[in-house]
Amino acid sequence: MKAFTYKSIFRIVLAGYLGLTSIESISQSMEKKKNIYLIPGQGADERLFKNLKFDTTIFKIHYVKWKIPHKREDLKSYALRLSSQIDTTEEFYLIGVSLGGMVATEINEILKPKKVILISSAKCRNELPSQYRFQKAIPIYKIIPKWLIKQSTFIAQPLFEPDRKKEKETCIAMLKDKNPVFLKRTIGMIVRWDRENYDPKIVHIHGNNDHTIPIKNVKYNFLIDGGSHMMTLTRSQEVNDLLVSLIQNSN
């Protein structure tokens, strides 16, 4: 006969009280959910993740909200401010897309998450496209009015990432809601980003059809064949399956 411990007896009694059908179901209900914090890209917000389907019985999803950067604020200081939105009393996972991935790389140095996963992003300055390195020497963006920077995003995004047509309405809505001050100051943060090294444990997912951060300079761990910079929206099933696998198989 199977020996019962105080813990197993407690589970049986509690299962009966709650009307659960099995000891296994109450065991699952007592397990803590995995906390996932999602950081969107520069021209996006939490709607970027609308097509990802995390099992809410296993995962608890949190969205990191953008704040307006201070004048001349660097990416590391900005990441420190955003990190106040994360509850560090519980184990957590950090997923960042594009600029959100750069911020996640910096937060990793501050808070030490269980795992950091980047999508369509860069872990250091050398993975950024050449125009950002060029603008560090010749900061053209400084003389462009912030309203013009915002308007140009409506032209540049479909030109650089035609794949976004699959989620055109969402992309336009997110850009419309962007504060032009936020856009101009975050460009400055990216241009001035001086990170050269990164934690090798960071997991990087990239697409080989990304025209915003071309894959040629990126040291990625997982490739989404044909994936664009917008693949979190447009190739969500593949991205979702990979994310769930990476988190569930974390050490």
Residues in the chain: 251
**How is the chain split into domains, by residue range?**
1-31, 33-248
10, two tokens: 């407690």
Give every strand in the sheet of 203-207, ordered side by side: 59-63, 34-39, 92-97, 115-119, 203-207, 222-224
pLDDT category of residue 146 using cuts at 50, 70 and 90: confident
CA–CA separation, 142 and 68 (whole Å): 17
Q: Which of 81-85, 155-159, 183-187, 214-218 has the lowest mean pLDDT?
A: 155-159
Q: Is the pLDDT at 39 greater than 60, yes or no?
A: yes
Secondary structure of residue 192 in the 3-state scheme: helix
Residue 22 pLDDT > 70, yes or no? no
Mean pLDDT, range 194-204, rounded to an integer: 96
Residues 33-248, CATH architecture: 3-Layer(aba) Sandwich (3.40)
What are the DSSP calls for 125-144, one per residue? GGGS-HHHHHHHHS-GGGGS
Buried b (16+ CB within 10 A) or exposed e, 65-90: ebeebeeebbbbebbbebbeebeeee
- Rounded Cα distance, 15 and 34, in Å: 22
